[in-house]
Structure formats: structure tokens, C-alpha cells
Structure 1
Amino acid sequence: MTGSSSGAPERVGGRGALRGRRSIAGQVLVLQVTLVVLLVVAAVAASVLQARHTARRQAVDRVVAVAETFAHVPGMVAALRSTEPSSTLEPLVEAARVRTGVDFLVVMNPAGTRYTHPDPSRIGQPFLGHIERALRGVAFTETYSGTLGPSVRAVVPVTTGDGTVVGLVAAGITVANISETAGRQLPVLLAAGLGALALAVGGTVLVNRRLRRQTRGLGPVEITRMYEHHDTVLHAVREGVLIIDDQAKVLLANDEARRLLDLPVDAQGRRVAELGLDPATAELFGSGRQAEDEVLLAGNRMLAVNAQPTVRDGKPLGSVVTVRDTTELRALTGELDAVRGLADALRAQSHEAANQLHVVVALVQLDRLDEAVEFATAGLAGSQQLTDRLLGAVDEPVLMALLLGKTAQAAERGVDLVITDDTRFEMFDVESAELVTVVGNLIDNAIEAAEVGDPPRRVTVAVCSDHDGLMVRVADSGPGLDPSQVAAAFERGWTTKASTSSGDGGHGRARGLGLALVRQVVRRHGGQIEVGRECGAVFTVRIPRQDATEPARRATAGLTTP
């Protein structure tokens, strides 16, 4: 919708719209070609000016050298003082002019009257130009329009041994010849300029093609719009988003990712291994592999992680990772499982009660009332006694329902769940959902362990709270837990059971989360978990009350294996 809404004004805008739709690569190409043309033209112009300057400088140097040399030729003073200086000097001067390549070489007396000239008809006429400085014994150069047109000339005095000026020598090259000399270099300069222009434009086109591929042919409007939307989405989305390159460096992390993973401020640009993440989380982020709703622990949070590798032209570029906080959802799921277990137990008891009712009715119809009463009340004493005891000992209705439901559930699975007589729970500063997570998962694991053990199959549960804190102790008659496996048992994904189908469309339920969830709750409250062994495994959880000694308790919180 964004693209279509902006398209109409761009079409109406004519040339401005074309500029808006032109890709970044196209605009860069036009700019670069323009700059290259301007630079090449400027370079050629500078080279032409330099060539002209050089030609002029060389002409000046030549006329000065020729004039100086001829003015100091032996016999020059004698020739000037002779009765026929023109006849003596003219052939020598003309030969020297031809050899040196100057346009004129003139010898004159101090009054400026020519003794020599390329045009014999001008001999005896006054020299056209300035000679005052030369008469003072100073050689000089100037540009002056003489009989041959504008020329660069040098005028040098001819002096005797005592410094008396007895004549002057002028040598010059016309400006037209200087320009012609510079013009002969112009084709070479133009050819070099055109070659440089062709190379520069060719290189620019190649760079433009690469830029076009990298920008996908997008124009500045589209790129700006994409960036604005990209930035807005990253800040607004309620999921953590990370972009990780093929070197396992974090290129981008939005606000929610920083919060959920507790990333440092300078996380961007650092390797995943340097961010202090949980080992399993760091391994997933750094591996570049694909993941779908993989559950990971990060501090006190349980995260659902999706990772999608980024590949272009068959080469891995990294991965995009999204992180979603499922801590509350997992807690609610645990509570729901407890309710489902209780419902299943009630359903089974209802079915069993219906069977018993049929037996009672049949006994009544047979007029065997004593047997009917005895049969009807035989199974009620134990369950009623347990219910009455829990009603008096447990103030938390959710915990009481959980214990009753797990007792019925264990009975259905052939396991005797015993709740100790010292079980007593008063109001405690642990949320009911967290209490269900701890007690429910420990009991579930114990029931499954007892099922694979030898008869009699039993689980013993004790839940006690006092002024010091809460203690949950669950023991089973199963095979127990090897001490070397204790630490691994509390890691996410560790289990001794295979994944089972959950009936949700064929998707298997993740296993190995129960004890990880228990450890998460215990850590959050600064408690401890002890793992021991009697006839089977014994798990003991201790959570202190949140009072003034909490920091000290949190400092010692952890996992022990007595």
C-alpha cells in the first residue's frame, strides 16, 4: 500500500518523479560520469595551458641563449666598428638564425638602426621595440609586435671590455610559431584525455553494475522508506530480533532482544560468544542452523527461539533470529496440565463410581443391604481422610488440588503417591503458578521414574513451609539418578524418555523441560536444589522467605548433590 500510494504523485511530477524513481545505482552513475567528464576536461585544459606555457618558456629561453651567444661572438665588436657592418654580419647572422630556429636575429647600433634582418629591405631601418634597458647594459625579454607580427624577443647589449655599449643583438620567435609548437601537442593531449575518460567511464559502469546488484535496483525513496519502516518495526515489535553474520557477530539487535537476553549496550559488532549468554543459547546463535520454536533458558526467562539462515547465491550470509518470551505461557501450561490431570482423575473416578454404583444397586435389589453399605463405603475412607488432612494443612487451594489430582493420576498408573503427615503449607511468597511448576514437575518425574522401577512403586511427597522458608521433598522408588548426571538433568532438553506424540496434529511435545523449569523458579527466589538417593532419587527444594537475608541466600543459591 505504501508503494502504490506514493506512485501517483511521482508520475504526475514528471522529471522530478523520474529522479525519484531512478535507482541509487543510476544516480551514482550519472554523478560519477559527470564528475569524470568534468575532471578529464579540466585536466586536458590544464595540460593545454601547461603546454602553451612550456612552449613560451622554451621560446624565451631559446631567444635569450641565441642573443647572448651571438652578442659575445669573437669579432662582434670589431664588426660593429667596421665601415660596412651589414655586409660583414648579414651572412653570419642569417646562418645562425637558420641553425638556431629563431624567426629573426637582428644586430643594430646603439641608435636602433638595423645592420641585419631576415628581410633585407628592412636593413637600415629603425628596430621596432624597446632598447632602453639594453642601452644601460641590461639584457631583457619582452613580447612586442614588430615587422613579423607579435613575437617573444630578447635584446642583449654588445659591450667592450670597459662596459661601453657598442651595439645590440635582438633574437625573437613569433607568437604564431609558439602556438603552433604547442598545438602539435594538442592531439596527444586530447587522445590521452579521451583514453582516460573511456577508462574512467568503463570503471564507473562496472562499479555501477555492482552497486545495482547490491541495492537491488532500488531508488533513494524506496531505500529511505524501507529504512524507516524497518526501524519502526524493530522498535515496535514485541519479539526480540537479532541479525547475526556468518562470523557469528551481532549486526543488529532490537530493544526487545536486548531486554530478553540482557545484552550489553555494545552488543552490536561483538561475537555471540562474548555476550555472556547461556551456552545453549550461544551455540544456537553462533551455529547458523535453522530452529523452529526451540525453547532456551536465558536467566529467569524461558524463550522460544526461531532462527532462519540467510543464503545468497549458495553462500551463507548469517541468520535472522527471533526470540519470544514464553515464561508465563510455560507456567500457565504447567498449571493447565495440573488441571487436566485432575480432570482426568475425576473422569476416571466418575467412571469407577458409576461401576460401583451399579454394584450397590444390584446388592440392594438382592436385598443384601449390609454388603451394599460395606461395599459403598470401603473406598471412601482413605480418600476422604486425605482430603480432610489436606484441607486442614494446606492453605493454597491450587496446591491442594494439584496434590489430590496427582494422587489420583498416580493411582491410575499403578503408583502409590504418599503425602507425608508433616506436609503443611501456609501462605508463602511464591506465586501459585510457580508452586505448581516446582511441585508438579517434581511429582511428574517421580511418577515416571517409579513406573519403570520394581514394585512396590511409590512416590513420597512432603511440602512444608515455616518461618525459614519452603521445603519440597519428592522421593521415588525408581532406579535413581547417577551423580554424574545430576548437573545435566537440569539442563534444557535432558531426558531419559523419548519424545511422544501429543495428539496435536502429530507434533511431538518437547521433553526435558520439567527440571529446567524447576531450576529457573528456584534460582529466581534464591533457593537450592538437593539431589540425593534412597531407594530411588530424592529431590529436595528449599526456597527461603524474601526477607533481609535474601542477598546472602541468593549468593549461595545453586544445586547440590549430597
Structure 2
Amino acid sequence: MAHASDGRSTASRVFVVLLGVAVVIGALVAVYLVVEAQRAIRAEAERVTAAAAISLAASPDVVSSLSEGDEGAATRLLEPYAMTVVEDAGLDFITVMTVEGVRVTHPDLAQIGGRYLGTIPTTPQMLTEEFTGTLGPSVRTIVPVVDADDTLIGWVAAGVTTESITDTLIRRLPLTLGITVGLVALGAGGALIARRVTRRIAGDLPPGQVRDAVSSYESIRTLGEALRAQTHEHGNRMHTAVALLELGRSDEAIEILTETSRQSQSLVDQVTARRQGDPAVGALLLGKASQAKERGIDWRVRIDPETPRSPLSTVDSVSVLGNLVDNAMDAAAESDDRWVAVSLTPGADGGIVLEVSDSGPGVPIDRREQIFQQGFSTKPADAQGRGIGLALVRSVVTGVGGSVTLEGDPTTFRVILPAAGARRRRS
């Protein structure tokens, strides 16, 4: 099981991935906080300008000054008043103007008497907009001034420049950066903990070797179960035969031993007929035949003698076939007509087609991809590793350029493997 690897252990890769995730999340949070702060600051600017403009438009001094029609007198009275409000409210300008838009007040005294730069509504109503005036781009609100008879006598505009909004945003950036650094630091701490936990489990092995270790464990497990079942079955038959011989019923003893030999020989013939077969796979199939008999499952095997050599190692071959057969027998045990069928035939371009079918209830269409996910199982995980078998099968098969699919009626797992010479190296 050769692997192309950059030498980085699984624990180190876990650390790098989690640290990268923490940095990305921190960056996204920072962007969100900046955008949200900008939105909040702009909304605050709109609220403050509207409140200031409305207050001044309702001020008796403003109403009386504009009602008299003397622009000079209005300027002398309202300019100091407007500048005081600008200072107290944190605004950049307040412009009091006539109905035609002639300025009565302005922060720049040279602009008094000129035309207001901005939109003046055609009807007496409040309007908030962003407009470029004499002080640059600004968020401004214009409000009508009416007398006691609700007659329009002028306008009041209050504004905050976008430069001031930007300055406010910049002042809030340290808090945003602090939150971002805190999140990344927490993520880095979590990544360090994850690396330590992973290292305790996997040591300094790279991912490919960790997967191989799991595959080896699964191979030993399923092969051990198969051999145990085979040993148990043969032991029962031998004990029965010995008992019959002791009772002098030699014909019946010979019949039992002959039947045992005949059943095993049929499968042995198929296995040995394949020119490029794997002895471990043959032993697995023999053992699984005994295991199926123990569980009352009809065991069907068809091996084409022309099936080429597998691109998988012995360990991976046993792991893939064993997990698929175990899964099939678990499913078949839930049906009345219990059977499991294994087929091994030549595929296209010198590859192999392995099919494992069963009489089980099947897998719902919406779960046919989900069952290949790590940890997913249709039954609780147990000591035999349920919940990792099919995920391991797909990992092993796709690692050499093959594919695993699931079809229904009957439930059939189809594994397509490429020719042995086309095997890809896994990282």
C-alpha cells in the first residue's frame, strides 16, 4: 500500500485545517462587523440629522425670522443659533433657507446668500438623501418650515459628511479587530487541542497510513469473524461425525463429512479457477459461507475465472469485500427470504466488477449517499465498527480510481475497479 505523502502527520493536518477555518471565520466576522458598523453609523446619522432638522424647523425663532422676510436679520439671529446646534448635536452643518432655497445660515459664511445644493422637495415634506455639497458628500435631511397657517415659509437642512461617518467607523475598528483576534485565538486553541487528541489516537501517522490502519483492522475483524464461523461449523460437523462413529453409524458419519466437503469444494473450485485470485479473499468467502449458514442465510457466489488481478492490496480487498458482505448479511437477516449473492466478473478495460446483493428491505433513495458518510449507520454503532464500514469501502475504492454505487430491487452494491496497472497512488 504505497502512498504519496508530504510527510505531514494527520494531527498536523487537522491543526492546519482547523486553524485555517478559524482564520476564515474570524475574517468573515470582521467583515460582518465592519459592514454592520457602517450601516449602524449611517442609520444614526440619518436619525440625528432628521431630529435636528425637525427641531429647528419647529423653533419659534426660525419660524419668526423666516416669516419676516428679512434675510439679513434672519442670518444675524439664526447663524449663532445654528452653529450652537451643530456643535451640540455633532453635525457638520445646518442650513436654514428661504422657500426658494437661498441660504440664510451656513458653516462657511461665504456661502450664505447662495443657493442650497441638494434636493428641495416639490411639496412640503421631509427628505433624507446623500448629496455632494460645498462640504463634500454628506447624508442630509431637509425639513419644511411652516407658519401658524401651515404655509411654507422656508426650509431647514441638517447634515453629516461621509468623511465624519468614516472617521467614526475608523474609531470603532480597534474593537472589531479585538473581537477578530479573540476569535482566531480561540480557534487556534481549539486546533491545538484537536491536534493533541488526534496525535493520541493516530500518533504521527499521515492520513493515508491512518486509513490503512483502519482498513487493516477491518480486514482482520471480518476475516476473523469468517474463520470463527467456519471453524465453529466444521467443529460441529466433526463432533457429530465422531459421535455417529462411536455409535457404529458409519454411513451417516461419512454422509455428513462428504456433504461438508462437497459444499466447501464448490466454492473452492470457483476461487481456484480464477487464475489471478487472492488466497485471502478465497479464505474470506469460505468463512463467510459458514457465517451465512449460521445465520440461516442462503449464500450464493459466482466468480468468473477470467476476472483479472485486483488493483487493491490484500488487506484492502478483504476490507472492501468483508464490509460489503457483512452489511448485506445484516440486511438479509431482516427479511423472510434470506439470501446474499456475491459476483466477481471482468470489467471494462481490464478492470473488475464486484457486486454484493441481498434480500434485505433496501435503503431509501434519499439515504443512498448518506450511508457512505463517516459515522452514519442504519443501526447504532457498536464494537464491530458499524458506521465506518461503507465509508471505508468508498475511501479505499475511490483511492485507486474506482467507484461504488448502490442500486435497489434487490439491494446491490456495485464496485467497479480499474485495471491493476492503472492504480493511482493515494495521498
Q: Which amino acid aligns with 2:60?
A: P
Residue in 2 aligned with 1:153? 140
1:261, 1:37 → 2: CA distance? 57
Larger Rg: 1
> What does the per-residue CA deviation read over 1:34-87, in whole Å, with 9 as the maximum and x for residues that have no partner?
111011011011101111111111011000000001001124222112232212
Give 1:114's match in structure 2, choosing from 70, 93, 103: 103
Answer yes or no: is 1:33 the counterpart of 2:24: no
Residue in 2 aligned with 1:411? none
2:159, 2:153 → 1: CA distance? 21
Asked if structure 1 preserves the Cα contact closer than 8 Å seen for 2:240 and 2:253, the reply is no
Q: Which amino acid aligns with 2:192?
A: V
Partner SS state of residue 62, structure 1:
helix
Shift of 1:218: 2.1
Residue in 2 aligned with 1:228? 215
Distance 1:26 1:72, change over 3 A: same
Answer yes or no: is 1:58 the counterpart of 2:47: no
Residue in 2 aligned with 1:520? none
Q: Which amino acid aligns with 1:55?
A: I
1:177, 1:192 → 2: CA distance? 24
Residue in 2 aligned with 1:94? 83
Asked if structure 1 preserves the Cα contact closer than 8 Å seen for 2:57 and 2:156, the reply is yes
Q: Which amino acid aligns with 1:56?
A: R
Q: Which has the higher helix share?
A: 2
Answer yes or no: is 1:172 the counterpart of 2:159: yes
2:192, 2:119 → 1: CA distance? 58
Residue in 2 aligned with 1:349? none
Give runs of aligned pairs for residues 202-213 of structure 1, distance below 5 A.
Answer: 202-213=189-200
Partner SS state of residue 140, structure 2:
strand
Give runs of aligned pairs for residues 29-428 of structure 1, distance below 5 A.
Answer: 29-82=15-68, 83=70, 84-131=73-120, 133=121, 135-236=122-223, 241=224, 254-258=225-229, 301=235, 328=238
Answer yes or no: is 1:431 the counterpart of 2:420: no
Shift of 1:430: 5.0
Shift of 1:152: 0.7
> What does the per-residue CA deviation read over 1:5-50, in whole Å, with 9 as the maximum and x for residues that have no partner?
x26xx3xxxxxx30xx422222221111111101101101110111
2:187, 2:213 → 1: CA distance? 32
> What does the per-residue CA deviation read over 1:239-265, in whole Å, with 9 as the maximum and x for residues that have no partner?
xx4xxxxxxxxxxxx233356668xxx
Distance 1:216 1:330, change over 3 A: farther
Residue in 1 aligned with 2:330? none
1:97, 1:427 → 2: CA distance? 117
1:119, 1:210 → 2: CA distance? 67
Partner SS state of residue 218, structure 1:
coil
Distance 1:184 1:331, change over 3 A: same
> What does the per-residue CA deviation read over 1:483-541, in whole Å, with 9 as the maximum and x for residues that have no partner?
xxxxxxxxxxxxxxxxxxxxxxxxxxxxxxxxxxxxxxxxxxxxxxxxxxxxxxxxxxx
Shift of 1:429: 4.7
2:135, 2:145 → 1: CA distance? 24
Q: Which amino acid aligns with 2:158?
A: A
Q: Which amino acid aligns with 2:188?
A: V
1:86, 1:118 → 2: CA distance? 12
Distance 1:92 1:208, change over 3 A: same
Give runs of aligned pairs for residues 413-492 of structure 1, distance below 5 A.
Answer: 429=251, 431=253
- By relative contact order (CA 8 Å, sep 6+), the higher-ranking structure is 2
> What does the per-residue CA deviation read over 1:184-211, in whole Å, with 9 as the maximum and x for residues that have no partner?
1101110121122112101211111111
Distance 1:75 1:261, change over 3 A: farther
Q: Which has the higher strand share?
A: 1
Shift of 1:428: 5.8
Partner SS state of residue 60, structure 2:
coil
1:30, 1:165 → 2: CA distance? 68
> What does the per-residue CA deviation read over 1:469-489, in whole Å, with 9 as the maximum and x for residues that have no partner?
xxxxxxxxxxxxxxxxxxxxx
> What does the per-residue CA deviation read over 1:445-491, in whole Å, with 9 as the maximum and x for residues that have no partner?
xxxxxxxxxxxxxxxxxxxxxxxxxxxxxxxxxxxxxxxxxxxxxxx
> What does the per-residue CA deviation read over 1:253-290, in whole Å, with 9 as the maximum and x for residues that have no partner?
x233356668xxxxxxxxxxxxxxxxxxxxxxxxxxxx
Q: Which amino acid aligns with 1:115?
A: V
Distance 1:118 1:230, change over 3 A: same
- Aligned-residue CA RMSD (Å): 3.0
2:150, 2:32 → 1: CA distance? 45
1:426, 1:193 → 2: CA distance? 87
* Structure 2: runs of 5 or more not aligned: 257-427
Partner SS state of residue 431, structure 1:
helix
Distance 1:427 1:44, change over 3 A: closer
Asked if structure 1 preserves the Cα contact closer than 8 Å seen for 2:67 and 2:147, the reply is no
1:136, 1:113 → 2: CA distance? 17
Count matched residues.
Answer: 253
1:160, 1:215 → 2: CA distance? 83
Q: Which amino acid aligns with 2:253?
A: E
Partner SS state of residue 116, structure 1:
coil
Asked if structure 1 preserves the Cα contact closer than 8 Å seen for 2:144 and 2:154, the reply is yes
Please, what TM-score do these two structures have when normalized by structure 2? Answer: 0.54
Partner SS state of residue 173, structure 1:
strand
Superposed structure 1 runs of 4+ greater than 6 Å apart: 329-332
